[in-house]
Amino acid sequence: MAKLYFYYASMNAGKSTNLLQADFNYRERGMRTMLFTAAIDDRFAYGTITSRIGLSQTATPFHVTTDIERCVLDRHAEGAIACVFVDEAQFLTATQVDQLARLADVHNIPVLAYGLRTDFRAALFEGSARLLALADALIEIKSVCMCGRKATMNLRVDEDGRAIAEGRQTEIGGNERYVALCRRHFCEALAP
C-alpha cells in the first residue's frame, strides 16, 4: 500500500536536493512522477524546484485553490504516475493534505512531501500541521546550527542581520532572510 511521507527540516537543510534526487531515481528507472511546488515561492523561477546546490526541475505550481488530487488523477489517466513529490509543503492547505492522503490511500500513489515544520515564530504552518497529523511516515532532515547542535528553528532577520519577531507568517527568502538555529540560539536571538 502506498504511503504519505512528510520530510521536514529547518531552512537550508537540503529538502529540495533530497526531493530532486528521489525524483531522479524514479525517472531513471523509466517511471513517471509528478512534482508540485508552491506558486508563491518565486525565488528562482516560477514553477521550478531549485536546490541551493544548483539542481532544478520543472514542477506544477500550486495555489491555495489548486485541487492537487484532480491534477494528479488527470495526469495518471494519461499514463501511470509512480510517485508524487511536493516541495514547500508547509504552504499546502489542510484540504490539499487530505487530497494527498487520498492519493496514497485510495489511488495507491506514494506521496513525498517536503517542507518546513514551523515558521520564524516557532508556529506550525497549516500544511505542516496537517501533514504531522496524517503522514504515515515523518522523516526529519537534519541541519546544523552555528554551535554544531541540530538546527530546528528558522530565525527571520532584517537587512542588518537582526532578529525579527513580528510580521506575516509567509515571507519568501533564503539565506539573506532566514538563519537555521538550534532552539537555544533561536530563543537567545529573540530575547529582549
pLDDT of 147: 96
Torsion of CA 114, 118, 123, 129, to 10 degrees: 20
4-142 CATH: 3.40.50.300
Dig out the grid coordinates for 53 from the structure.
546546490
What is the Cα–Cα distance from 171 to 167, expressed in whole angstroms?
9
pLDDT of 172: 60
Q: Which residues contact 140 (CB under 8 A, 6 or more apart)?
A: 7, 8, 9
187 labelled binding-site residue:
no
71 labelled binding-site residue:
no
Known catalytic residue at 88? yes
**Quick one: which of 91, 145, 128, 92 has its CA closest to 8?**
128
83 labelled binding-site residue:
no
pLDDT of 85: 98
Residue the block writes with cell 524546484: 49
**Candidate list 28, 69, 78, 88, residue with the active-site label:** 88
- 8 A C-beta contact, residue 22 and residue 113: no
Could you read off the pLDDT tens digit of each residue along the chain, which spans 192 residues? 999 999 999 988 999 999 999 999 999 999 999 999 999 876 667 788 888 888 889 999 999 999 999 999 999 999 999 999 999 999 999 999 999 999 999 999 999 999 999 998 899 999 999 999 999 999 999 999 999 999 999 998 888 888 777 767 666 655 567 899 999 999 999 887
112 half-sphere exposure, CB direction, 13 A CA radius? 19
- 8 A C-beta contact, residue 90 and residue 127: yes
56 labelled binding-site residue:
no
pLDDT of 192: 77
**Quick one: which of 148, 76, 160, 155 has its CA closest to 120?**
155
Distance of CA 167 to the CA centre of its chain: 21
pLDDT of 173: 57
pLDDT of 87: 96
